[in-house]
Chains A and B, each alone.
Chain A
Amino acid sequence: MPSNKSVSDAPIVQFTNCRILRDHQLQREDLWVREGKILNPEKLFFDEKGSADVQLDCKDSIIAPGFIDVQINGGFGVDFSLATDDFKSGIDLVSQKILSHGVTSFCPTLVTSPPSVYHQVLPQISVRNGGAHGAGILGAHLEGPFISKEKKGAHPEHCLRTFEAGAFQDLLATYGSLDCVQIVTLAPEMSRSSEVIQELTKRGICVSLGHSVANLSQAEEAVQHGATFITHLFNAMLPFHHRDPGIVGLLTSDKIPAGRRVFYGMISDGIHTNPAALRIAHRAHPKGLVLVTDAIAGMGLAPGRHTLGQQVVEIDGLNTYIAGTKTLSGSVATMDTCVRHFQEATGCSVETALEAASLHPAQLLGIEHKKGTLNYDSDADFLMLNDSLYVQATYIAGKEVWRQDGLGM
């Protein structure tokens, strides 16, 4: 294409010599970007008589939509459940560092904490676009405190709460504000949960089931009232039983309302879930699988002791436990490691692995019209990866925000 001045002021960039993930397949097509969005080049050619201003050779890379992490508790020494003075700079640091893992949007996650923490921290989290400064923030994920004592996992027991007295009002009082909240994880067997789920859903907040001893009927009822997600499937819930599959049974339940899909988070770090279990879940309900890291403050740091909200955790290799116990508490996996491990463990296609970290979380949050795909008019948040799914470069709104050292283009 002649690189003459195109018809609009915004420069048009054409990424060539690449394979892009579109319509669930890797296709040999060029990717066109203008004004931070994916551009339709055919429309540009015929309607505007326009052409590219800049052509970039991607050296046969794979181009995929940027990863979206809907469960990340911190990293690089930063803990989102700690109300520190420099909380804002902490979240900025994490959002900047995770660009190298291919994450272009995320939901900072708070584990069960006392109300004072929510009241101090939540006002400091704002929904914002990503850029050179870091990945975009879609809103907070509040995991707890309305969860089951029996399945608290690494969450501190003294902070657990119920909402049997005032239902939604109790929840609101605990959190203080729901302005920038995107997801709430709760245990649906708790009394008055249906009302709470309905209220949250009405406000556009995604309700997730987790840290719970609910049976399948309770879980199905929660879905009927609006719940759409399962927090880290298999972990912190009753194990699958053939006469009561529990929450796990939602993957193949026939009581999901028409037109709705239940999504489920999987931490595929090789530790939280046995590969065989990962495969069972994936094969039972492939379109619902959402890769999450559940990363904690110690992610990205040397092994040793770190905090996770009110708890102290110990990191040893990829394993993270409540100090002195064998209770798993989050992970130190990065999103790109999870994608690679998921692909290896299930033997699925590259396209499937990539969509589990991009398209599916976008669909979960109802934002797939602008995130999670490379469709025309979507936000131009994308990654260049090599065939082994290592991230080589990260782009947000069409601009390069991270590049692997030693790569020229």
Chain B
Amino acid sequence: MRLVILEDYEQASEWAAKYICNRIIQFKPSQGRYFTLGLPTGNTPLGCYKKLIEYHKNGDLSFKYVKTFNMDEYVGLPRNHPESYHSYMWNNFFKHIDIDPNNAHILDGNAPDLQAECDAFEKKIEEAGGIDLFVGGIGPDGHIAFNEPGSSLSSRTRLKTLAMDTILANAKYFDGDLSKVPTMALTVGVGTVMDAREVMILITGAHKAFALYKAIEEGVNHMWTVSAFQQHPRTIFVCDEDATLELRVKTVKYFKG
């Protein structure tokens, strides 16, 4: 794996955005030959999305021939609820760029048959030729997407119950009212992300430091599902200095060198 350490959040976001931008441009996507991108939500990627939008508005990057697949969506939350991941993606990304709405895929947490919706999502990824670059984040408990501690490392897209940690962390987005926070979500599996040709994990902030330590300095463990990517041929962890606080100095020096 690569561990790219930038000084602060802004620089980490910019590095990640430039990487994505260059990947797309080098791929030279065109009609019938799309670049497929897996996308996350949450606080961490906001800076990266802002930068990508900037590159688009400068005329340097087009999403015309890019297909996107989001990692997850809450179950039972109305699609137009301000905290749904559909709203997040629209407001923070899609409305600012030139992506074809037919190419922006997000799981439907209100589908009548949730497992069928998950299976269909896996199929869409397959039909798109697989994911070229899956961008993800890491939860404080080491989860990727909503693959909470204990999730199978071979899992596929499915319905998951959210861990109490996650529900508590999310409460601030629902007026602090725990009863309003969704308890279930549809999520891509660890296996689904492992199938991507390349994976980039964004990790910033001191509160994620312990999870990063567990993910890369300890063994592969279903309690820290991001650790699965130790076995992926092409993974980059992009982080800021604060996120490295729990790593050994030797590790940091190695990757900085």
By a beta-carbon cutoff of 8 Å, the part of chain A in contact with chain B is: 1-2, 4, 30, 41-46, 48-51
Contacts and interface: CB of A to CB of B under 8 A. Distances in A.
A42 B90 contact: yes
Contacts of B79: 46
A60 to B, nearest CB: 14
Nearest to B106: A46
> For chain B, which range describes its interface: under 10, 10 to 19, 20 to 34, or 35 or more residues?
10 to 19
Given A30-B95, A42-B95, A49-B102, A2 B90 contact: no
B181 to A, nearest CB: 22
Nearest to B102: A49
A44 B102 CA distance: 11
B95 A51 contact: no
Contacts of A1: 98
A50 B80 contact: no
Interface in B75-94: 79-80, 86-87, 90-91, 94
B108 to A, nearest CB: 9
B100 A51 contact: yes
Given A2-B64, A30-B95, A41-B95, A46 B90 contact: yes
Interface string B96-132: 0010111010100000000000000000000000000
Contacts of B86: 42, 46
Contact of A2 (B80, B98, B104): B98
Contact of B80 (A4, A43, A48, A51): A43
A28 to B, nearest CB: 11
Nearest to A44: B101
A281 B8 CA distance: 52
A46 B101 contact: yes
A42 B80 contact: yes
Nearest to B62: A2
Contacts of A44: 101
Contact of A49 (B64, B95, B101): B101
For A43, A46, A50, the residue with the greatest tally of chain B CB atoms inside 10 Å of its CB is: A46
A39 to B, nearest CB: 13
A51 B104 CA distance: 13
Nearest to A6: B101
Given A2-B64, A30-B95, A45 B101 contact: yes
